[in-house]
Amino acid sequence: MRSLCLLLLLTLVGVTATAQTQDDELSLSELGFSQGVGEFTQHKYFKFLSKPIVSNGAFVVAGQDLLWQTSRPVFSQILLKEDAIYRRLNQEQPFELLVKGSQINQLLSAVLTGNIKAKDWTITTNTPLCFELVPLQAQMSQLFSHVNLCKTGDASRQVTLFDPQDNKTIIMMTLTSNQLTPAERSSLELR
């Protein structure tokens, strides 16, 4: 009888866990967007620095491609493509390859666009509007120990990236439009 109870309990726990994951995905899906333009402000906290390093700029998203353009204090562009990450410090110059491979850029793109896949993360809910994501891949956990993803408004969110050295990056993102102009679309091309 005790065994039967234990089995029943385990089954119920399993069902609850599955339901929880499905709920998370549903809620998370509200945070996701597949296309749009917006602005961001980034605060980077290093544990040995008293003040954060602040930067701001704009982003453009179309599917898996994401352009992350820092305008202040220093111009730079990071382009996340399906299979690589590129960078340039000057718009006159061509992009240079930063990282080859799809895993980092896909996960980074997922974090920034909110298109989270449950298979890549352990997802827990901190508050009604916040999720804590812990990467499942060992290689990814070298980059982020965990990520907090919070909805801060209809078109805004806060992404907090924690690295294994306890440094953190807080990014405030605001989606200004979910339509792309031809110029914005062409900015996602590798030129």
Q: Name residue 60's amino acid.
A: V
16 vs 122 by CB, closer to another protein: 122
Residues 137-166 binding another protein (CB under 8 A) are 137-139, 142-144, 161, 163-165
Residue 48 contacts another protein per CB under 8 A: yes
15 vs 117 by CB, closer to another protein: 117
30 vs 82 by CB, closer to another protein: 82
75: left (phi over 0), alpha (psi -120 to 50) or beta: beta
**How does strand 156-162 pair with strand 146-151?**
antiparallel
Residue 73 contacts another protein per CB under 8 A: yes
> Nearest distance from residue 183's CB to another protein, in Å?
23
Residues 7-46 binding another protein (CB under 8 A) are 42, 44, 46
- Contact code string over 88-107 relative to another protein, x by CB under 8 A: -x-------xxxxxxxx---
CA atoms within 13 A on the CB side of 20: 11
Residue 134 contacts another protein per CB under 8 A: no
The contact set with another protein (CB under 8 A) reads 42, 44, 46, 48-49, 53, 55, 68, 70, 73-76, 78, 82-83, 85, 87, 89, 97-104, 108, 112, 137-139, 142-144, 161, 163-165, 167, 169
